[in-house]
């Protein structure tokens, strides 16, 4: 199983952007920390693995809200792990962050829970990866994770992309089904199949519908953020495009959608997935 393309991606310029935007990203994604953590109730002495922990927000939220629970974040991105470790040190959190490919990484001692906020959609071989995660837990251990539904259902990501479309040299093609990426788990049946084939039991997949507030104190800042993160950022990453015009087009569209508070709140759709090892 070769996750080297993702390892390069998350240690390269994309990882650096996530480092720069980590604080703003965590505010935007905070509803999902609550959605995932509320699905598990670790007792003192139990342990939790955070898969694809990135800059560590989910791990640190959990560490802050539970007593004497060992939290280990696993990620392939050294720059993001450095942020997670610095954040943990700053608040004296009992969380450990390790560099490992969750598809093959094994904890020293089996854990009680695995959790993830948008960190499990990037495996080249998801069945093998989820089998490995299952084997990292005690029998009857549980997993709870959030993953995006389709791009079409996620206006926060789709709207900036649509605003920029006329200025792109070509419209980005949706990746073939099963391609690792943020929307790889959009299809509920696909998630069910992966979890069943990797041996998980009692699979529950519930829709999460809400809205996200785009980061940025002004619409201009929100537009800039969306040029740096999400599908629009991926669409413009490797072509010589007129970024100033793209930003202006995104800004115009976001201005139309801004609420009375001057902020942009757009629909978001995810799955909250639970299963037993
Ligand atoms: C969308 S980010 C989410 C980060 C974090 N969970 C959060 O909510 O902010 C996806 C994360 O998954 C990590 N990732 C991707 N493939 C991975 C793998 N095979 N093993 C461990 N982490 C992986 C990336 O490095 C990245 O930090």
pLDDT for position 188: 97
Distance 259 CA to ligand 1 centre (A): 31
236 by Cβ neighbours in 10 Å (0-12 / 13-18 / 19+) ranks as: buried
- Give the domains, in start order, of the chain with CATH numbers: 4-149+174-212+268-276 (3.40.50.150)
Express each pLDDT in 97-137 by its tens digit: 999 999 999 999 999 999 999 999 999 999 999 999 999 99
Q: Which residues, judged by CB distance below 6 Å to any ligand atom, belong to the binding site of ligand 1?
A: 3, 6, 10, 29, 52-55, 57-58, 74-77, 80, 101-103, 117-119, 122-123
pLDDT for position 1: 67
- Pairwise CA distance, residues 11 & 80, whole Å: 8
Express each pLDDT in 167-223 by its tens digit: 887 888 888 888 999 999 999 999 999 999 999 999 999 999 999 999 998 999 999
Residues 6+ positions from 204 with CB-CB distance below 8 Å: 273, 274, 275
Residues 6+ positions from 56 with CB-CB distance below 8 Å: 50, 73, 80, 81, 83, 84, 85, 87, 88, 95, 97
Express each pLDDT in 229-265 by its tens digit: 888 988 887 667 888 899 999 999 999 999 999 999 9
Measured by CA distance, the residue closest to atom 13 of ligand 1 is 52
Distance 159 CA to ligand 1 centre (A): 24
CA 58 vs CA 117, 187, 261: distances in Å: 7, 24, 28
Distance 139 CA to ligand 1 centre (A): 25
């Amino acid at each position: 199983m070769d996750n080297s393309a993702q390892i390069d991606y998350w240690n390269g310029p994309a990882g650096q952007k996530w480092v720069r935007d980590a604080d703003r990203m965590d505010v935007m994604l905070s509803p999902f920390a609550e959605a995932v953590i509320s699905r598990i109730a670790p007792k003192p002495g139990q342990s939790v693995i955070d898969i694809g922990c990135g800059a560590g927000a989910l791990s640190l939220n959990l560490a802050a809200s539970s007593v004497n629970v060992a939290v280990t974040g696993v990620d392939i991105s050294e720059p993001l792990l450095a942020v997670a470790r610095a954040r943990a040190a700053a608040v004296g959190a009992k969380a450990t962050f390790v560099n490992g490919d969750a598809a093959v990484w094994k904890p020293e001692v089996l854990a009680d829970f695995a959790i993830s906020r948008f960190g499990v959609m990037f495996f080249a071989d998801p069945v093998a990866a989820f089998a490995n995660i299952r084997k990292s837990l005690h029998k009857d251990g549980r997993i709870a994770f959030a993953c995006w539904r389709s791009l079409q259902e996620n206006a926060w990501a789709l709207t900036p992309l649509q605003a920029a479309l006329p200025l792109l040299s070509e419209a980005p093609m949706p990746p073939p089904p099963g391609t690792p990426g943020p929307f790889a788990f959009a299809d509920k049946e696909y998630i069910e199949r992966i979890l069943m084939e990797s041996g998980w039991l009692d699979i529950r997949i519930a829709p999460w519908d809400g809205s996200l507030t785009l980061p940025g104190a002004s619409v201009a800042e929100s537009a800039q953020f969306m040029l740096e993160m999400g599908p629009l950022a991926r669409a413009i990453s490797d072509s010589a495009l007129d970024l100033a015009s793209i930003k202006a087009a995104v800004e115009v569209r976001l201005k139309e959608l801004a609420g009375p508070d001057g902020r942009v709140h757009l629909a978001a759709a995810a799955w909250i997935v639970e299963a037993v090892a």
